[in-house]
Structure formats: C-alpha cells, structure tokens
Structure 1
Amino acid sequence: MNWIEWRPQENILISIKEVLQEALIPDSEIQKNVQDKLTIIQNLTDFDYYLLFILRNENYSEEVRSLSGILLKNNISHVTPENIIKLREECLNLLKDSCREVRQSISNIIIMIAKDRLKTWPELVTHLLKMFMCQDEFSEIALTTLFRICEDLIASQKPQEEIFSLTKEVFPKFTSFIGEENCNIQQEIIKLTNQFLQDYFQIMRQSIDLNQYLRCVINLANTNDIELQKHVCHTFVIYVDNQEESVLPYFHDVILYLMDKSQSEDQELALQACEFWLATTKLNSCKEILTPYIEKLLPILLKNMKYSKYELNIIKDSLGQDSSNQDLAKDITPFHFRDKNSHQDDSDDDTEEQSDDFDDFYIGWTLRKCSAASLDSLAVKFGDDLLTILIPFLNEILNHQDYLIKESAILALGAIAEGCINGLKPHLPYLVQFLISSMNEDQSVVRVITCWTLSRYVNWIVNSESSPQVYFLPLMTILLKHFTDDNKRVQRAALSAFCIFEEEAQLKLIPYIDYILEGFHLGFQKFHYRSLYLLYDAIGVLAQSVGNFLSKEEYVTKLMPPLMRKFTECENYCDDHFIAVLECLSNLIPALETSFLPYSEVVYCHCLQLINDTLMASVNYQEHPTECDPPDKEPMNVAHDVLYSMAMGLKSHFIKYVTNSNLICLLYTTMQDGSNLIRQTSIALYGELVMLCFPFLATNISDYIPLIVKNLDEHCDGVCNNAAWVIGKLCGVMGSNIKPYLTDILAAFIHILKSPAIHRTMHKTVAISLCTVFYVCPEVNVPDMDVVIKSCCMLIRNVRDSEEKDLAFRGLCEVVSRNSEFRKTTFIYFCDAVASWNNPKIDLSQIIQSVLKATKEQYGEEKWGLFYSQFPEPLKSKLLNLYGV
C-alpha cells in the first residue's frame, strides 16, 4: 500500500475526525475516553494515512488539522522509509498552508524527520532558505524550522562533514541578511551563529566570511536592545577565545565597548562582557594588548567582585547562625577525595589542587566569580606590575565600613596571590595578620572569603622563616576554631582552607596532631552533611601528610571511634555519606597501619558484602532489565579502594581475610566489569595481593593473567597503567614462569611504547614492567630492540629510586649487554639513565659498572674518547661518582 493508491474509508475517517474533535474539549473524563479510543485506532495499519489526509484537507477545522499533525509527528518512528519520502514532499508543500497552526505542525514534523534523516534530505535546507529569503508571510515558519534544525544538529553531535554541509549553505545567507535594513531578527541570527562558532569554530571558519560577520556585529553594537548587546559581547569573546585575527583591527573599540558593558546594571550583560577579559588572558600578547587600558579595567573588576543582590538572595538563608539547622538538599553533594588507585610515579607530576569554589557551587557562574577569575589571570600575566595600580585601591577598601566592599577586597587579595606573590612579600606580615584578625568579623561572608584568601598564602605562611608562633600556629588555630563556627558556610570554608594548609605543611604538622584531632572531634559532634564530607577530606589529607606518625595509640583512640560510628550508622550502601566515610577510610588506613586492626574485620566484612550485593544486583538487572534497576557501582568502586588500602596498611595481617573469603573470586568478576573505574581499582587490589600472598593466588593464576593482559588497552589510561604495573609485580614473584604469557604481554607493551599520544605515566609504567620482563626472561627478543631499549632508557631515568626501579635496571642491563647494535649507536641513553640513580644497591652498581666498562672496551680507547666527549659535564660527573667510569 502507498499514498497514491490509498483511499480513506468514510466510516473510519469520520471516527478519527470525531476523536480529534473530542480531544479539543477541556474535560478530564472526555480526555480519558479520547486516550482509550486513540489506543485502539492507532493500531490501524494506515492510521498515518488518515492523519495526513486530514492534515492537508482545508475542509476540516484548523484545530483538527493541527492536532492531526501533532499525532503524525509523534508517530514518525512507525512510518515506513518509502512513505517518509512522500511525507517529506507533502510537508514542504504544506509549509505554505494558509493556517498558521497547521504550518507550525508541519514544521514540527519536518524537524522530527530531519533529526535522523537530514543527510538523506538534501533539498530541505535549500527549500527553507528560499522560503526565508522571499520575505513574505511564510518566511517566519521557514526561519523557525531552520533554526530548530540547526539547534538539533548542535545537540546531536553529528559527524563534522554533515555539520559542514549545513553550515556552508545556511550561514552565508544568514550573515549577509543581518546587514540588510529590513532585517528584524538580528538577535536570533547572531545567537544561532554564535552557538555554532562556539562549538564548531573551525567548521564555521570554512563556512562564512568571519571578517564580514564581525563587521555586521560591530555595526549592531550600539543597539539599545540588552539581549542583542549580550550576543554582540559573546561574539567578541568567541573571536578572542579562538585567537581569530580578524578582530585585531577593531580591538581598541571592542575593548572600550566591553569596558562600558562590564559596568552595565544588567548583571547578565556585564558578565558576558567580563568573559572577554578572562578570554584575553589566554593570549600570549595579553599584557601588550591590555596595558593601555589596565588602569581603567582594574577598578571595574574590583567593583564587580562585590556580592550582587542576586547572589545575596540565594545565600540569604545561610548568612547567620545556622549551624544547628539541618542541611538542605543542595548541601548534601559530597566533596570527593582524589583517586589514588592508579599506580603513578608522581616524581614530576603536578599535584592536584583543591577547587577554589568550595561552597557556592549552587549559585553558578556569576559576574563576581568571572571578575575574580579575570583578576587572578591578569595577575599571572602582569605579575607585580599590577600592584602599583591595585595597592591604593586595596588600601582604601580593605578597611571599608561596608562589609560587602571589604569582603570583595579580601577576595581580590586572594585572587592576586599567585601572580603577585613576589611583590606582595614585603606586605605579607601585615596582610596575614590582617586576614587572621578578619576571621573574627561579625559578617559570615567576610569570614568565608578570608578562609579562602588565607589558603592562597599558605605556602608563604608555612615556609616563613619566622617562629611557628608568628604565623603558622595562629593560622592553624584560627582555622580549627572556625571548624565549629556558628555559620555552616564558614565551617566549610575553614575546612577547605585547612586541607590546603595540611597539604603544604606536611610533616610540620606532627607536633600538633593531638591539637588537630581535638578540632576534628568537635567537628564530629557539630557538623551536618556538607561539613562532614569536608571533615572526612581533612582527615584523609592529614593521614597523607603525616603518614604513620598518625598511628600512635592515643591518636587512633581519638580519631577512630567517631569515624566508625559514622561508618556503622549508614544502612544504605548507596548513601553518599557512607561513600564519603569509605573514601576517608581508604586514605586513612595506610597511615594507621596495624593500629587499624581492631576495626579491620567489620570494615572488611562490610566491603565484601557491598561488592557481593552489587554484583548480585547487576546479575539480576541483566536477567530482568524491566523488573530491576541497574545498581549504582560507585560504592563498590570505593569498597575496592578500602580493601586496597587495608592490604597496603595491614600487610601480612590482611592475608587471613583473603584466604578465608571469596575476595579472589569476586575480583575475577570485577576485573571484567564494563566500568573502567571498577576494573582500575580491582586490578590495583589484585596487584597488591600478588605481592602479599602470591602462593594463595598461584593455584589459578592462569585464569587471571589473561584478564590483566586484556586490560592493557591504551584507550583506558588508569586501567592500562594498573595492568602494566601488575605484570611487573607478577614477573617479580613468578620469574621465568611468566613465559607462557609473554607473546601477548610483549605485543601489548611494544604497541603502547610506540603510540605517541599516550600519557607519559603509562609509558613509564610499561617501560618499568618491560625491563622487569627482560630481567626474568633475558633471552626474549622483540622487533626493533634497539629502539625499544632507547625508549625504556628515556622513560625509567625519570623514576625515583625504588625496588621497582632496581628490578627494571637489572633487566635493562641484561638486554643492553645482549644487544650490540644498541651499544654501537645510542648507548648514551643508557649512560644517561644509569646516572639518574641517587643511591643504587651495591650489586646493581657493580652490574651497571660492568656494562659500562664492557662497552668501553668494545669501543676502544680512541672511539670511546670521542663518544665520551659528547657527554655533558654533569653526566660525566655522575658516572664517575657512581660507577667510576
């Protein structure tokens, strides 16, 4: 059956028309009957034919026709491909229907069809553009349809060639039209064009003349329409963000325009303009560009850093003494600690920073935040040069009687901490004392921002040459005091700042552990959800900072009982609070070591039960997807973390838990889980057990090694890194028994080493494990061995002294000794690598020395002299001191 042959049956047509008419009656009982009737008639094989017949028949009322269009749109997925083609033709004709509501229904149908079939409907966009450019009564619906198609295309993440196919046809017409006098939709066109420029700038660069578009936008800049001004500002931001050179000739006028709009009373317009300063700081030429304007710009930013009425209204319920009030739903999102179960050598990796936006996460991005971020970035670009302009302003407003202006000054002081630290050092003794005293201000917003600003100067405070009583202890004391502030936002700010203080202070905290734990104890008594999450973080950071100095009995008896109470209070594994406690334990246990033993059994049983229950729920969901919900796997992931920490902290005491439970069987399942994080943590745990109780694992090791090798997938960084690490550990305990698996292991390792677009840490881990393979199986060979050895030398030279590095270098020496080609061509890389040791073991030092001397003899005195003359002096010195060569 097709459209051409089909004819309606009169009785059915009448029935459908009556149902549609009834559907227009606003009566709940009638509407229920309509739904029942629709359920029945929708089963007609030619129901869509009737709807289209009614839709295009002007003898029916406009309301009935429009409703038939809505039903047809909702039923598009059931229309056959052949009939879709006919429906497309009809829709293009009906876009010029005399009824506006019918045209709108047709537009919706077109949009629904185009969602998945735009590529196979090339005439659609051309047709709509022609209708739009005619500028008649049908232009509006053509434009509306085009806009919706474009917006859907952005959201759909279609291939770039499909996006380019549309943009090159549509946007040249749009951008030329906004320059015409009769254009009254500039705002809509600029908004849409900016959306595409923001998401697909390179595609748009090929689709439109960016210089022409920019000129059109500049010509519209002086409009009185606030919304249009926002889009104009956004255009300038996009051009700078993408370093589009066509904006350079207009920079002076653009900057003056945006400075003006940055002072607008309309907060959204001022925010959009302020984005420009943040974008400009990403340019290498930022200082050169903004220097002529910086004296006028800085006061604008400072003024905009004051809390707006909008922001104060949002936080109005949390400005006073609210510490006894229960947290709201928005406060219960946990502040998760960092992931630690990817085995990384962090000797030269940047440490992760805490977010500055520790609390006002539910306010969103505001003019205040954007201005502060802009000042922060400008301070980094301009450095101490900013202080000449800023200090007079800060001196004036830091002691302002209006506490909101004083608060904004303290925020500014925090914002410039990174970029202007050298110029500020002479002022810091006064400023730090001022900030510590500001922690006693009556207004909670001042105490909140002072905590953050103090955290920005923690490095100077902790490393000050002054006595601890001058800055260190006063800072620690004031932050601990405000753990129990009567305002919860201040509590959270103090906790966040204290975490940063702990990270910086590290072992300097040891004399004050007891004092710190007293503060934590008071926090357990007073805190609600959000503050508790941050308290768990502070405990974890303390553990990482002082290590096993925290394991003293008097410390453990203060810390563990309240923490375990929180642990046992949670009955729901998926509860965010329970997950937060688990995360805290996972960071605490390695520091407590055997002092955790009294609490280990209950924690182990909980974690094992959690993993069992999650896996069972997952099986139930797979078998009965319509009856069961998929389980939340995050708690199971954190449970793996805790077990991993127990294995590290308890060492041999952990073995009894492993041998008397089904943990190894569970790991066989979780190491195959679809979640990268689950596999990453379970493989890390298995690797720790390899070192701890390999004899227990050995009986079925042949089932597990293939799983580990399968996870050597460079597309999953953390998983691959851990799998490579485990293979190195297996080599250490299995020796040459690893041989049956070497073909697959070596193939994966070499592939990863030869893949340049991989995280350096993964390359390093693979190099260490590969060299360990060479140690236990020195006779193995791989393609391009000299190239592989060179890569390994370059990678493992950056690893700090450790047992892993020791084993890897023994393997490296083996393979270098056997590879004469490497010794002839690129031996300098080996020399550089062995010079990276600070204190190698005596026997390893002798092995390296023998390789160096054997190679020197192979070269001969004359050639070795020429070769050795290429070495930098520091390398010669290291080789002589370490190995006498």
Structure 2
Amino acid sequence: MDWQPDEQGLQQVLQLLKDSQSPNTATQRIVQDQKLKQLNQFPDFNNYLIFVLTRLKSEDEPTRSLSGLILKNNVKAHYQSFPPPVADFIKQECLNNIGDASSLIRATIGILITTIASKGELQMWPELLPQLCNLLNSEDYNTCEGAFGALQKICEDSSELLDSDALNRPLNIMIPKFLQSHAIACVNQFIMDRAQALMDNIDTFIEAVSPLWGPCILINSLSSNRLIPILVNGMKYSEIDIILLKGDVEEDEAVPDSEQDIKPRFHKSRTVTLPHEAERPDGSEDAEDDDDDDALSDWNLKLIPHLIQCLSDKKALVRSIACWTLSRYAHWVVSQPPDMHLKPLMTELLKRILDGNKRCLSSVATALQSGFLPYCEPVYQRCVTLVQKTLAQAMMYTQHPEQYEAPDKDFMIVALDLLSGLAEGLGGHVEQLVARSNIMTLLFQCMQDSMPEVRQSSFALLGDLTKACFIHVKPCIAEFMPILGTNLNPEFISVCNNATWAIGEICMQMGAEMQPYVQMVLNNLVEIINRPNTPKTLLENTGGPQAWALATPLPASWRCTSLRNIRDNEEKDSAFRGICMMIGVNPGGVVQDFIFFCDAVASWVSPKDDLRDMFYKILHGFKDQVGEENWQQFSEQFPPLLKERLAAFYGV
C-alpha cells in the first residue's frame, strides 16, 4: 500500500513552505535555522515533500516546486542516510509524475531525478533510463517533454558514465531514441566527446538533422521581419523563469547564503581545449573576418551604452545579466578610448559592488577581472579552506563510514575552478597567495581523487598555476607527472583533455629538463592518437606538449594536419613551438612528413616574429640541405595556393 501522509504533519509541512516564501527576513531565518532542521529529524519528512510536489495539485505551483527544491537539497546532503522505503517512494513518484501538466513541476521533477542519479544512483536505479526512454513514445506531449527534459539533464550531468561499461553502455539504446529533431539537445552532450554509440549512428543523425538546415536558411532569408520579433520576444523572462531564478526577490543581502548561492546545479568544470575551427583554404576568409570585426565594432558602439544603462535597472535579473554580458566585451571595451566606454562602465560596476542582490555581485566579480585583485585574498583562502575541509571529511568517511557522512565534493570542484579562475585572471600576482598556502599539497591529493570531475578541475588548476607561478609547481613535478600519465585515458575525455593540456604547459616551462619524465606520458599520448574517433579537441591538445620533441622521433603528419585548421592563437603558437623544437632536436625525423609541415606553416596568418623566424630557418635549412633542384621537384607537389604563400611569406 502506498505511503499516506498524516493530515497534521502535512499541514505543518505546508506552513513551512508558505513561511519559506515570506519576504520577512526574521521568518526566513526561523525557517532555515529551526523549522527545517527540526523536520529533517523525521525519516518520512522527505515523503511529505515528494507528496506535496507530485500529488497535492490543489496547491499553487511555486509551493509545490519549492517542496521539490527543498527535497533536492536534502538528497544532495543526506541521500545516503535515507531509509530504503523513503528512497524508493521518491523514485516511484518522480517517474509516475514526470508528465505533470505544469511545466514548472516537470522541470522540478527532472532536477530531482538527475540529483538522485548524481549521487551514484544510476547503477542502483536500473528502471530509470528504460522507463524514461519508453515514455518518449507517449502520445501525451507533457509526458514526452518531461521525459526528454529529465534525460537531457542526466546526459548533461553524467555523459561519461553513460558511455562506459559500468551501465552496460545504455547509449546504444538511448542514442537511436534521441535521433529526432526535438532530441538534438540530448545528442549534443555526446558530439564533442565522440561517444562510440553516437559514432555508430552518425549517418542516421546526419540524415535526421539535414532536413532542418534548409528550412532554417529559408526562414532566415524570407521571414526575417517576422522571425526577429519572435526571437526578441523569446529573450524575455517568462513567469516560470522568474520563479526558478528567484527574480521576484530583488534585495536578498539579508538572506543567509544557501547551497544554491555558491553551488549552481549545472556546474561545469573548466575544460581547457583548443578552439575547434573550420579549415581556411585561402586568404578570402581573412578579409571576411576583418569585415566581421568592423560590423561587430559598429554594433558594440550602439550596444555597450545600452548595456551600461541596464546596470541601473530596477530589476535584479536585468542588472545581473547586463553585468555578465558586459564581461564578455571586456577586451573590446579596454581597447577603445577610456572616456568612451571604460570610465562609465567602471563607475556603474563599482556602484553594483553595493548591490543588495547576490547574483549581481557574482557577475560584477566576473566583469572586473584583474580589478578583483584587492579582494582576492579572502576569496583564495576560502577556496583553499573548502578544499581542505572536503578532503578531510572524505578521509574520515573512508576510515569510519558508519560515523561520518560522505562529503559533497561539488563544493571542492567549485573551489578548484574558482582558484583556476584566480590564477588565470591574476597571473603572476597569484604567486604570493600560493606561497602562503598549502595548495600544492592539496592539489596532489585532488589529482588522485576517485571522482573524475575533481581530477578534471585539479588538472585545469595545475595548468593555470604552471603558467602563473611555475616556481611553486616545479618542486612537485616528480610527484605530479606519474599521476598525469595515468590520467591520459580517453574514456574520461574531459579529465584526459585537461591532463594533456597541463602536461603541455609543464613542458613549455621545463624544456630539456622534461627528459626524465617523457616515458611516463609518451605511450599514452601515442595510444590517444591511434585510437579511432578520438575527439578533435583532444587531438589538438596532444599536438602541443613539447614532450614529443624530446621523445623518439614520431611522424609529424598527424600533428600538422590537425593544427593547420586552428586559427592563430596562443595554443596554436605553443603547439608549433613544440613541433619546431622536435625538428631542431632531430631534423631527419620529419623529412618524410615535411610537406605536412609546410602546409601547416602556411595556415598561419600572423605568427609572432620569433616563431616566424623559426619557420624561416627550418624551411630554408631544408631547402639548402636538399639543394635547389631537389627543392623544385619537391615543391611541385604543392597546391598553387600553398606555393604562393610560402614564396610570399618565407621566400622559398
């Protein structure tokens, strides 16, 4: 028989939910500090919460949704201690009500499902994925949409696990289900990682999405007058958006910080990759890029003043998104005369430091970038403390699981990512903070954590610290390199990518001193290159490490072929310096692939002067070595455009 609530207990829970929505600070504090803690002492409190969410349809949607969000927080904090009947009841109610008539309730149930799944329950909830996939066949729109929403969240949070043997590769069944136009959002999570199940169905995927391209082009060309107003209208926050984003709460500075304030549900760890660009067969695209830049500047001149005005909007959501949007244009703003945009922008941003809304403050910190320097020390120390406490709790849980709860490592992931952001934004200024902390010791532990997301963020931080303050990283290289080598596993693509990037940054700093550590990483790098369907971004990162230059000569064709398609940037510069270093160490190793090197060199539009000199010396050195006649025979193989570019830029 289904669990049924006690009427008095139900009324008590409903009163709690009503009080939670009160604008009165004192009432909010009583709810958080007293009532919620008191009710959490009862094992079936979570049954009441799921009951209100799924069955009490007479209540208003915000109250029902809030019940689900409180339950979600309890799941994240205490799920391991839920009695099995309570956990089973929650799971059953979620699946039975994923097609609720309210889109807000469907979204809340989807969030709850993926939160349960993220607690390691994908393996312990075998009926979840099959039932959600079966619901996709429903003729009821709400049921189908709710199932899709839940699956999309699961795909976003657990894409690597879904493509592993741990769950018997459910993607083999799920991917064909997703191959419908309404399901592209689900499939998108697996495109960059080139999940094997998607690769097996790639022809079906292309066939399914191809018919969508033509109508998009036709609509864009024939119906722009009707399309643009629709798109602009869609940019407005709906009532549901405002409820979910708490946009109706304008001033929340007096409200105690909750988990959600510092830990977004869809937190994405930093993944350092090279940009994935289209091939440029000729110089015409460069001219187009210049035109695009001019057009962008024209738009910026009109757009920036409007966004600066929005920083003073009466709505907190508008102030917040204006701060975030302006942060994307920071480089352009500082490149203009200061009086034009920079001074009015800084004036408004500094006013927002006093903003009463937390979301605005977060966006201001992003927009200020290096201007955050005076405030960085307490933030840095808070992050280090979070990492240290989480590691300590994990150790206590491992040793005495009956006495301690498992830590929520999302806190540690967020802290590691914020430290990466500080290192990247502050550059060398972060050195004194690192010197006064034990972050390198903590990083050593995080790099060996069992949770892939922790390792992923750890390697990103290692790479950023290597760039910013290598003096503190260098003493740890002997301990770090074996860990980096063992994490060059493409099964965990994001971890592997960040480990590869960190190795490249270390190689750039170490130079010839890297020699003792080459064999720790070389074999795994070769395996990545030879592996079918390796994501292109990962191939590009493996092209960069200068460890290749110190290793046994290997064909350079794969590196040159992948790197030629990247636009000029720092990562491409780093990768080509590694190739040039390899040629300098062993010129004979590249002779058979020299045409690929020539083609890759010609892909540069404006290399730095010292890199251009490297190219010049290598090209002319090769030409002098083989002689004029042999060079002419060799260059006859070049396509006309390649021959023209090498002659124009390097005189060969």
Same fold (TM over 0.5): yes
Structure 1 Cα separation of the partners of residues 511 and 272 of structure 2: 22
CA offset at residue 832 of structure 1? Answer: 1.3
Q: Secondary structure at the match of 2:345?
A: helix
Counterpart residue number, 2:563: 796
1:629 to 380, 387, 405: 405
Counterpart residue number, 1:67: none
Counterpart residue number, 1:868: 635
Once the two structures are superposed, what CA deviation does each residue of 1:827-867 show, in whole Å capped at 9, x if it has no partner? 32110122234555666555544543454466665554344
Once the two structures are superposed, what CA deviation does each residue of 1:26-74 show, in whole Å capped at 9, x if it has no partner? 9x9xxxxxxxxxxxxxxxxxxxxxxxxxxxxxxxxxxxxxxxxxxxxxx
- 1:459/1:504 contact within 8 Å kept: no
Which amino acid in the other structure matches residue 442 of structure 2?
L
Counterpart residue number, 1:514: 343
CA offset at residue 739 of structure 1? Answer: 3.4
Counterpart residue number, 1:427: none
Which amino acid in the other structure matches residue 286 of structure 1?
P
CA offset at residue 762 of structure 1? Answer: 1.9
Which amino acid in the other structure matches residue 773 of structure 1?
A
- 2:353/2:364 contact within 8 Å kept: no
Counterpart residue number, 2:460: 684
Counterpart residue number, 1:81: none
Change over 3 Å in CA distance of 1:241–1:877 after alignment to 2: same
Counterpart residue number, 2:311: 480
Q: How does 1:677-756 map to 2 (within 5 A)?
A: 677-691=453-467, 694=470, 697-756=473-532
CA offset at residue 514 of structure 1? Answer: 3.5
Instruction: Establish whether residue 463 from structure 1 lines up as the match of residue 306 from structure 2.
Output: no
Q: How does 1:466-545 map to 2 (within 5 A)?
A: 471-472=302-303, 474-482=305-313, 485=314, 487-492=315-320, 494-495=322-323, 498=326, 507-508=335-336, 510-511=338-339, 512-528=341-357, 532-540=358-366, 542-543=367-368
Structure 1 Cα separation of the partners of residues 482 and 433 of structure 2: 25
Which amino acid in the other structure matches residue 298 of structure 2?
N
Structure 1 Cα separation of the partners of residues 342 and 379 of structure 2: 24
- 2:312/2:348 contact within 8 Å kept: yes
Q: Secondary structure at the match of 2:403?
A: coil
Structure 1 Cα separation of the partners of residues 236 and 470 of structure 2: 60
Q: How does 1:782-793 map to 2 (within 5 A)?
A: 785-786=554-555, 789-793=556-560
Counterpart residue number, 1:882: 649
Structure 1 Cα separation of the partners of residues 180 and 323 of structure 2: 40
Change over 3 Å in CA distance of 1:815–1:190 after alignment to 2: same
Instruction: Establish whether residue 828 from structure 1 lines up as the match of residue 595 from structure 2.
Output: yes
- 2:355/2:361 contact within 8 Å kept: no
Structure 2 Cα separation of the partners of residues 280 and 627 of structure 1: 53
- 1:640/1:681 contact within 8 Å kept: yes
Change over 3 Å in CA distance of 1:881–1:636 after alignment to 2: same
Instruction: Establish whether residue 807 from structure 1 lines up as the match of residue 638 from structure 2.
Output: no
CA offset at residue 621 of structure 1? Answer: 2.0
- 1:721/1:765 contact within 8 Å kept: yes
Counterpart residue number, 1:773: 547
CA offset at residue 158 of structure 1? Answer: 5.6
- 1:768/1:796 contact within 8 Å kept: no
Counterpart residue number, 2:21: none
CA offset at residue 613 of structure 1? Answer: 1.1
- Please identify the structure whose Cα radius of gyration is greater: 1
- 1:773/1:811 contact within 8 Å kept: no
- 1:341/1:684 contact within 8 Å kept: yes
Instruction: Establish whether residue 818 from structure 1 lines up as the match of residue 588 from structure 2.
Output: yes
CA offset at residue 478 of structure 1? Answer: 3.1
Taking structure 1 as the reference length, what is the TM-score of the superposition? 0.43
Once the two structures are superposed, what CA deviation does each residue of 1:121-163 show, in whole Å capped at 9, x if it has no partner? xxxxxxxxxxxxxxxxxxxxxxxxxxxxxxx999443699xx9
Taking structure 2 as the reference length, what is the TM-score of the superposition? 0.56
- 2:319/2:360 contact within 8 Å kept: no
CA offset at residue 673 of structure 1? Answer: 1.4
**Is there any run of 5+ residues in structure 1 with no aligned partner, and where?**
1-19, 21-25, 29-111, 116-151, 172-187, 200-236, 244-278, 350-457, 544-587
Taking CA–CA contacts closer than 8 Å with sequence separation of 6 or more, which of the two structures ends up with the larger relative contact order? 2
Counterpart residue number, 1:663: 439
Structure 2 Cα separation of the partners of residues 640 and 735 of structure 1: 27
Q: Secondary structure at the match of 1:738?
A: helix
CA offset at residue 699 of structure 1? Answer: 4.7
Q: Secondary structure at the match of 2:271?
A: coil
CA offset at residue 754 of structure 1? Answer: 2.1
Structure 1 Cα separation of the partners of residues 499 and 594 of structure 2: 30
Structure 2 Cα separation of the partners of residues 153 and 473 of structure 1: 50
Structure 2 Cα separation of the partners of residues 331 and 639 of structure 1: 13
- 2:311/2:318 contact within 8 Å kept: no
Once the two structures are superposed, what CA deviation does each residue of 1:412-432 show, in whole Å capped at 9, x if it has no partner? xxxxxxxxxxxxxxxxxxxxx
Counterpart residue number, 1:757: 533
Q: Which moved more, 1:672-681 or 1:792-801?
A: 792-801
Percent identity for Structure 1 against Structure 2:
24
- 1:790/1:829 contact within 8 Å kept: yes
Structure 2 Cα separation of the partners of residues 840 and 813 of structure 1: 18
Q: Which moved more, 1:731-740 or 1:314-323?
A: 314-323
Which amino acid in the other structure matches residue 823 of structure 1?
V
Q: How does 1:241-640 map to 2 (within 5 A)?
A: 283-286=212-215, 341-346=270-275, 348=277, 463-464=298-299, 471-472=302-303, 474-482=305-313, 485=314, 487-492=315-320, 494-495=322-323, 498=326, 507-508=335-336, 510-511=338-339, 512-528=341-357, 532-540=358-366, 542-543=367-368, 588=369, 591-592=370-371, 596=373, 598-640=374-416
CA offset at residue 669 of structure 1? Answer: 0.4
- 1:492/1:534 contact within 8 Å kept: yes
Change over 3 Å in CA distance of 1:690–1:329 after alignment to 2: closer
Q: How does 1:112-191 map to 2 (within 5 A)?
A: 155-157=127-129
Once the two structures are superposed, what CA deviation does each residue of 1:523-559 show, in whole Å capped at 9, x if it has no partner? 344433xxx324422441x34xxxxxxxxxxxxxxxx
Which amino acid in the other structure matches residue 342 of structure 1?
T
Change over 3 Å in CA distance of 1:874–1:323 after alignment to 2: same
Which amino acid in the other structure matches residue 359 of structure 2?
Y
- 2:431/2:469 contact within 8 Å kept: yes
Q: How does 1:15-54 map to 2 (within 5 A)?
A: none
Change over 3 Å in CA distance of 1:848–1:661 after alignment to 2: same
CA offset at residue 747 of structure 1? Answer: 0.9
Counterpart residue number, 1:394: none
- 2:311/2:322 contact within 8 Å kept: yes
- The aligned length equals 465
CA offset at residue 605 of structure 1? Answer: 2.9
Change over 3 Å in CA distance of 1:727–1:156 after alignment to 2: same
Q: Secondary structure at the match of 1:768?
A: coil
CA offset at residue 818 of structure 1? Answer: 1.6
CA offset at residue 286 of structure 1? Answer: 3.2
CA offset at residue 790 of structure 1? Answer: 0.2
Q: Secondary structure at the match of 1:764?
A: helix
Which amino acid in the other structure matches residue 633 of structure 1?
K
Change over 3 Å in CA distance of 1:710–1:491 after alignment to 2: same
